[in-house]
Amino acid sequence: MKRFLVIAAFAVWSLFDVAYGQQIYIDKVEEDGTRLICAQYVGVGKMGYGTSVSLSCGTSGDVFLWVISLNIPYYESHPQIDKGRFLLLKLKNGDIIELKNDTEVGPADYTYEVGKYSTIYHVKPSYYLTEDNIKAIIENDVVKLRIETNLGQTDIEVNKNRFSKAIKTSYELIKERLTVKKDKYSDF
């Protein structure tokens, strides 16, 4: 009986592993009527490597702009990510999605933690993607990331199918929010 309960607990936990507690943390309308919806960051890195991902959507009328943001810790180094640098997403089926950074990320954009033995710099690049990219990510688990910086390329192994689960949950939450019309007077 005890063995059954342990197995059942792990099964339930795996169902809610990424999605449990994930929510929208920004849903605002600007003066010009544009709307921004952001899902919270979710950890996707393997072996304690604290990489996390977030999906956002900006809308203006019938135009939707989807953005994927990463939070990548670098120990004792502070890379820059110039405009036009790439992010490669390797899918389980072997396909590769290439996304480009359109904003420079430099020292002024970092947050950092000073520890007893090292300093950890959190680099947060963002990349535009299409709904077709999002659907490909959801349907075919992302197994590896490759990010290009001024220091070279960094490969990041993804924990199981966490990346795809996080994007799927974020996408569904954002799409649900988009069904509700909102203006600057909403929730006042």
**What are the DSSP calls for 1-21, one per residue?**
-HHHHHHHHHHHHHHHTTTTT
- Is the pLDDT at 180 greater than 80? The verdict is yes
Q: Is 187 inside any structural domain?
A: no
Q: Is 4 inside any structural domain?
A: no
Q: Is 10 inside any structural domain?
A: no
SS3 at position 47: coil
**Total residue count of the chain as it appears in this document:** 188
> 12 Cβ partners below 8 Å, 6+ apart?
none
- Domains: count for the chain: 1
**Rg over CA atoms, the chain:** 18
Instruction: Find the mean pLDDT for residues 53-70.
Output: 92
* Better-scored residue on pLDDT, 9 or 24: 24
Instruction: Kindly state the tokens that stand for 79.
Output: 């890379």
Q: Is 15 inside any structural domain?
A: no
Q: Which residues pair with 39 in a beta bridge?
A: 24
**Which amino acid, residue 169?**
T
Q: Is 13 inside any structural domain?
A: no
Half-sphere exposure of 107 (CA within 13 A, CB side): 3
Q: Is 163 inside any structural domain?
A: yes
Domain interval for residue 115:
21-178
Contact between residue 34 and residue 58 where contact means Cβ atoms under 8 Å apart: yes
Smallest Cα–Cα separation from 81: which of 124, 24, 28? 124
- Is the pLDDT at 47 greater than 60? The verdict is no
Q: Is 123 inside any structural domain?
A: yes
- Is the pLDDT at 9 greater than 50? The verdict is no
- Give the CATH number for residue 162: 2.60.40
Q: Is 89 inside any structural domain?
A: yes
- Is the pLDDT at 139 greater than 90? The verdict is yes
Buried b (16+ CB within 10 A) or exposed e, 93-120: eeeebebebeeebeeeebeeeeeeeeee
